[in-house]
């Protein structure tokens, strides 16, 4: 769950990125302060939820102005109807 939250929901790339980063952090953190790893993991989850709720991939896509296919309109918007013609004068 934390992997997807960190990397980004709704994308396979986000989940893979989150898995890589969380596991790399776990490896580093357990080497430096092994007894604090679970506190760091909890803090990471809270910080991710509050600061980057869309995850890394979702936040980067928002910053760059990119949209996923699911966010694009499915059909092009119809052209507006032309204004009605005035009635002929009598």
Specify the number of domains making up the chain: 1
Residue 41 domain-assigned (yes or no): yes
Provide the whole-model pTM. 0.63
pLDDT at res. 68: 61
Residue 57 domain-assigned (yes or no): yes
* pLDDT digits 0-9 by tens, 12-55: 888 898 889 889 988 998 888 888 888 988 898 898 889 888 88
Residue 86 domain-assigned (yes or no): no
Domain that holds residue 49: 2-66
The yes-or-no verdict on residue 72 having pLDDT over 60 is: no
Q: What is the 3-state secondary structure (H, E, C) of 34-83?
A: HHHHHHHHHHHHHHHHHHCCCHHHHHHHHHHCCCCHHHCCCCCCCCCCCC
Residue 19 domain-assigned (yes or no): yes
Average pLDDT, the chain: 82
């Amino acid at each position: 769950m934390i992997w997807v939250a960190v990397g980004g929901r709704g994308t396979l790339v986000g989940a893979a990125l989150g898995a890589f980063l969380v596991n790399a952090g776990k490896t580093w953190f357990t080497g430096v302060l092994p007894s604090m790893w679970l506190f760091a993991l909890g803090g990471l989850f809270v910080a991710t939820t509050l600061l980057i709720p869309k995850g890394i991939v979702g936040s980067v896509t928002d910053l760059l102005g990119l949209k996923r296919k699911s966010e694009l309109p499915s059909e092009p918007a119809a052209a507006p109807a032309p204004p009605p013609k005035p009635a002929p004068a009598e």
